[in-house]
């Protein structure tokens, strides 16, 4: 099982980034996919999640209206489009796969290695 996150980088406040997470080794279309982030010295927190068919989508209040999660089951990839980025969005972003919708990290079975997003003011 592998989840390969990419797309992180350094961006100015107000800018945009698109994260991708390519999955392999499991039946991607049968898993709920989530994005989490962890800032230095803080706990890992929920960002967004999307169901198998994209019918159910959930966002943390802190990113609602700025971030968009999507998935392409044909490409085994989940995306996170991040607009209007703020310095407080600076964190390592992780993608994860789980069997049921949840905001709790423990509910997810597989995790990627993370990609660093740095937003400068």
Separation in Å, CA 19 to CA 9, 58, 105: 10, 17, 19
E runs forming strands in the chain: 2-6, 9-12, 17-24, 32-38, 45-50, 57-59, 67-72, 77-82, 91-98, 108-111, 115-120
Which segments in the chain show pLDDT lower than 70? none
pLDDT at position 99: 86
pLDDT at position 13: 98
pLDDT at position 117: 98
Half-sphere exposure of 94 (CA within 13 A, CB side): 18
pLDDT at position 101: 80
């Amino acid at each position: 099982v592998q989840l390969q996150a990419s797309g992180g980088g350094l961006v100015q406040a107000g800018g945009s980034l698109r994260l991708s997470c390519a999955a392999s080794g499991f039946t991607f279309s049968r898993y709920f996919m989530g994005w989490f982030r962890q800032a230095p010295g803080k706990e890992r927190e929920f960002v967004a999640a999307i169901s198998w068919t994209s019918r159910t989508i959930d966002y943390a209040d802190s990113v609602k209206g700025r971030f968009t999660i999507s998935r392409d089951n044909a490409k085994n990839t989940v995306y996170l489009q991040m607009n209007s980025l703020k310095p407080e969005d600076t964190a390592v972003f992780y993608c994860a796969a789980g069997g049921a919708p949840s905001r709790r990290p423990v509910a997810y079975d597989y995790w990627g290695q993370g990609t660093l997003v740095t937003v400068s003011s």
